[in-house]
Amino acid sequence: MTDILATIEGGNEAEQGLKPRSELTARELMREVGAVLRMSEAEVAKLGDAPDDPSDDQTMIINMGPQHPSTHGVLRLMLELQGETVLRCKPVIGYLHTGMEKTGEALTYMQGGTNVTRMDYVSPLNNELVFSMATEKLLGIENDIPERAVWMRMLLSELNRMSSHLLFLATNGMDLGAVSMMIYGWREREEVLRFFQKVTGLRMNHNFIRPGGVAADLPDGWRDDVLRLLNLIPSRLDEYDTLMTGQPIWRERLQGVGVITAQEAMALGATGPILRATGVAWDLRRDQPYLHYDQVEFDVVVGEYGDAFDRYSIRLNEVRESMRIVHQILDRMPGGDYRIQNKKVTPPPRARINESMEALIHHFKLFTEGFKVPEGEVYVAIESPRGEIGCYIASDGSATPYRMHVRAPSFVNIQCLPHMMRGGLIADAVAIISSTDPVLGEVDR
């Protein structure tokens, strides 16, 4: 009984949680209220000496999550409230931690794709892409990938950006009470996923982009399917504009909520729509081009105020920009191989195994042992729908990565929540979580 009481009293994660103000050091308090970002040194010193706070009994610490439907998975937020106002906030994460970076050390470079694709399960193809690009850079074959594979990767990456942003529009609508938006967003996303299923065989967790190229060629009739998507979605996006963008209730709920400045966003390492909403035009597709993004025309959508509305409209308009890119990809898709013809990396075609001893050996070695990757370390970053996703691989020359680390955009982005929420209302907290678009599988890995 006393154990239970102690657990209730302290919480079962007391150390990681939000402590009462009386138990905090000045430095911790500075961090939690974002003083390091917002105040001058004199103000910070004043805060450290005598916290000008409401006394403990006027404030209340509550848990939001981990199973709250609007926390997008198993995110737990501890909020210190005074009435309806959020004074402090601390994200407590790790409920979905499955040790994927450790698992990655035991899987060969060929199997690695199945692991990383499960991190950000809303944009799996971008995870596979960054892992494959890092492996290829270690192998030194990054410039030898066949043209068709590169354009296919771009096609899939952009369609995945569309499906991810459509899901964001759905959940953002749901979080703010626009329930019909939820159904519309899921409906359009499903159309994109249906195309993925046709190409890769699966709706999610594809393991389709692999070191050396992609797993298979595009199926017959893919062009018609993409064109159907491109005809269908623009009119639906215009419907969203009618339903939400111009609607007074929607604007009331989002404008001026969760404001973050460019300096704060950069200090916190935020990337993607959060950074772009503050007016910083930073998009890796344009600024550090990979694949053939330097050969297509598109605009980087930026905001001005850094609030939740800017983040919403950036994502909505990025769907339009992605469609613009997909149109250009359709025009330029070349023929040829869809994976590199390097016997050490690519398994031989099924027909060759029956007639060639070498092909059989290569096939056997590739799938039992994997291919060896030269020693060294490399960091590759691309623009995922949520921001910069990076892959750091240290190789010791064997067939498995010595260390495989994924820089997850959501992990960094949710660290902005305390700064965005401070001083806001608890009802706005939901809008702010939603506007950072976190995927908890990627946060916890």
Work out which of 66, 269, 279, 348 binds another protein, going by CB under 8 A.
269
At 387 the three-state DSSP class reads strand
In contact, 109 and 404? CB cutoff 8 Å: no
- Is 36 a binding residue for another protein by CB under 8 A? The answer is yes
Residue 326's φ and ψ, nearest 5 degrees, are -60, -40
Question: Judged by CB under 8 A, which of 6, 10, 16, 216 binds another protein?
Answer: 16
Choose the binding region for another protein from 151-159, 203-211, 369-377, 427-435 (rule: CB under 8 A): 369-377
Residue 83: left if φ>0, alpha if ψ -120 to 50, beta else—which one?
Answer: left
Tell me the window of 78-86, 114-122, 245-253, 395-403 that interacts with another protein (CB under 8 A). 395-403
Which runs of E-coded beta strand occur in 29-73?
Answer: 60-64
Q: x-or-dash pattern for another protein, window 415-444, by CB under 8 A?
A: x----------------------------x
Binding residues with another protein: total (CB under 8 A): 55
Q: Which of 56, 144, 239, 287 binds another protein (CB under 8 A)?
A: 287
How does 39-72 read in b/e, with b if 16+ C-beta sit within 10 Å?
A: eeeeebeebeeeeebeeeeebebeebbbebebbb
400-403-406 Cα angle (round to 5): 110
Cβ at position 391, least distance to another protein in Å: 10
Alpha-carbon gap, residue 209 to 128, rounded angstroms: 6
Q: Which of 44, 215, 266, 360 binds another protein (CB under 8 A)?
A: 266
Report how far apart, in Å, the C-alpha atoms of 188 and of each of 27, 70, 225, 250, 366 are: 47, 21, 14, 21, 39
| Interaction pattern, residues 101-140, with another protein; x per rule: CB under 8 A | xx--xx------------------------------xx-x
Q: Say whether residue 249 binds another protein (CB under 8 A).
A: no
With respect to another protein, which residue has the nearer C-beta, 205 or 288? 288
CB of 240 to another protein, least distance (A): 31
Q: Which residues pair with 407 in a beta bridge?
A: 390
- Pick the stretch among 107-115, 228-236, 372-380, 422-430 that binds another protein (CB under 8 A): 372-380
CB 44 to another protein: min, Å: 11
The stretch among 7-15, 43-51, 60-68, 111-119 that binds another protein (CB under 8 A) is: 7-15
Among 267, 356, 367, 423, binds another protein (CB under 8 A): 267
Instruction: List the helix and strand counts (H, then E) for the chain.
Output: 21, 8
Q: Of 7 and 247, which has the nearer Cβ to another protein?
A: 7
Q: Is 380 helix (H, G, I), strand (E, B) or coil?
A: strand
- What CA–CA distance (Å, rounded) separates 152 from 129? 11
By CB under 8 A, residue 241 contacts another protein: no
Rg (CA), the chain: 24
Candidate ranges 1-9, 77-85, 364-372, 377-385; the one touching another protein (CB under 8 A): 377-385
**Shortest distance (Å) from residue 396 CB to another protein:** 4
Task: Tell me the sheet residues that pair with 395.
Answer: 376
Residue 268, sorted as left (phi over 0), alpha (psi -120 to 50) or beta, turns out to be: alpha
247 or 263: whose CB is closer to another protein?
263
Contacts of 332 (CB under 8 A, 6+ apart): 151, 295
Please select the residue that binds another protein; options are 202, 378, 425, 426, rule is CB under 8 A: 378
Q: Which of 44, 47, 48, 97 binds another protein (CB under 8 A)?
A: 97
Residue 349, classed as helix, strand or coil, is coil
- Alpha-carbon gap, residue 410 to 383, rounded angstroms: 12
Minimum CB–partner distance for residue 239 and another protein (Å): 36
Distance, CA of 331 to CA of 1 (rounded, Å): 70
Q: Where are the alpha helices (DSSP H) in 69-139?
A: 100-106, 112-116, 124-139
Exactly one of 7, 27, 256, 369 binds another protein (CB under 8 A); which one? 27
How far apart are alpha carbons 269 and 272 in whole angstroms?
A: 10
String of contacts with another protein for each residue 137-176, x by CB under 8 A: xx-x------------------------------------
Asked if 43 interacts with another protein (CB under 8 A), we say no
Applying CB under 8 A, among 411, 424, 436, 441 the residue interacting with another protein is 411
Helix (H) or strand (E) holding 168: helix 147-175
Q: Which residue among 407, 424, 428, 433 contacts another protein (CB under 8 A)? A: 407
Binding site for another protein (CB under 8 A): 13-16, 25, 27-28, 30-31, 36-37, 93-94, 97, 99, 101-102, 105-106, 137-138, 140, 266-271, 280, 282, 287-288, 375-379, 381, 388, 390, 392, 394-398, 402-403, 405, 407, 411-412, 415, 444-445
